[in-house]
A and B are shown apart, each in its own frame.
Chain A
């Protein structure tokens, strides 16, 4: 019962968070400055999610069987591809390929 109650409450709250700005879109016009701050806040949220994932990688809870060096290599290559303008698919593919190559090289060594 507790699990169901939490699912329903979190679901309802999350839906309201998603819905309110759409409902108020006609009534509230944000200034360009406020829109820019909102975009910065979203960017900050995503950066924080990445930081949390890296921290979990360091602590070993993100991918317990993966050596940290392999994880760092994958994130490094992925970041480089992203900074060079790679699409999401290419960044993910580059990271996955790095994991495969480093894992294979480690196994052979």
Chain B
């Protein structure tokens, strides 16, 4: 509830008039509702992380990663590497390489937090991850009023914050009972496909996806997280090249 109050009640101090126009409880509620199908789709993945937590040499310590890391892929990689005997530095660097994309997620929605108080940003930053970024960036794109968008983000974040912890805990406690390998693991990638599909219709978007996919597949044998980093930049380079090509074509 603290998150709601912080994100909901504070007004930006120095932003455009449009950005200060009335956020209300309805925006937070809409964000919470928008997060529900994503949370359901991430349920198998959350349980999978929970099973890895239960199998860790220190389940209680591993479980704290649910809140501290708040990102399934990096959490899973950190657990797998420590279970495999990797050192603290190797496991940390690998997991952080996977989470490097969070910097970009934050940078793309960051302008909507201009003029807000420090504590608002400190709280909001804790929950930036793929699902919250998806719902927030869509909301900001279609409804550019920042204060309402932040309330929307707050509602979505609360649902994911507690929902994700619940799923990991469920997987940890009942991992053996939950049927694995029935295809439910595909739901999370399907959500990601739904996120990128609209951009695939444009030439630069398609080039970005193709470039990143090719590099990701080609670099699959590289150390954990490296291929993801390379793919991100390859995608951006491909999109930029496609835009330049399109400009040259039209001249």
Contacts and interface: CB of A to CB of B under 8 A. Distances in A.
Interface of A: 1-15, 17-26, 30, 35, 37-55, 57, 62-66, 70-71, 74-75, 78-79, 81-83, 85-92, 95-96, 99, 103
B235 A44 contact: yes
B148 interface: no
A43 B239 contact: yes
A10 B78 CA distance: 8
Contacts of B199: 43
Given A18-B125, A71-B183, A40 B204 contact: yes
B99 A17 contact: yes
A95 B190 contact: yes
A20 B106 contact: yes
B114 A26 contact: yes
B72 to A, nearest CB: 11
B190 A92 contact: yes
Contact of A63 (B124, B126, B182, B195): B182
Contact of A53 (B56, B70, B189): B189
B73 interface: yes
B194 A40 contact: no
Given A9-B92, A18-B105, A51-B212, 13 more contacts: A6-B92, A10-B75, A10-B99, A13-B96, A13-B99, A45-B235, A49-B189, A50-B196, A64-B180, A66-B181, A86-B194, A91-B194, A99-B186
Interface stretch (B2-10, B19-27, B36-44, B166-174): B36-44
A9 B196 CA distance: 31
Contact of A7 (B65, B190, B201, B232): B65
B190 A78 contact: yes
Nearest to B36: A89
Given A10-B65, A71-B183, A45 B194 contact: no
Contacts of A24: 110
A18 B231 contact: no
19 contacts: A7-B78, A13-B99, A14-B96, A15-B68, A17-B100, A21-B107, A35-B108, A43-B212, A46-B196, A53-B186, A53-B192, A55-B220, A63-B181, A75-B186, A78-B193, A87-B37, A88-B134, A95-B186, A103-B183
